[in-house]
Amino acid sequence: MADDALGSSRDAEDVAEPGVLTVTFSSAWSAPVPWLDTVEAMWPDLTFELWGIEPGNELCVHARVEVGRVVLMDERAPMPEELLAWGY
- Of residues 53, 62, 63, 57, the one with CA closest to residue 83: 53
Q: In this predicted structure, what is the pLDDT of residue 1?
A: 44
Rg (CA), the chain: 13
- Per-domain boundaries in the chain: 4-85
Assess whether pLDDT exceeds 70 at residue 9. no
pLDDT in tens, 29-65: 777 778 888 888 898 888 988 888 888 888 888 989 8
Spatial separation of the C-alpha atoms in residues 70 and 62, rounded to whole Å:
11
CB 35 within 8 A of CB 6: yes
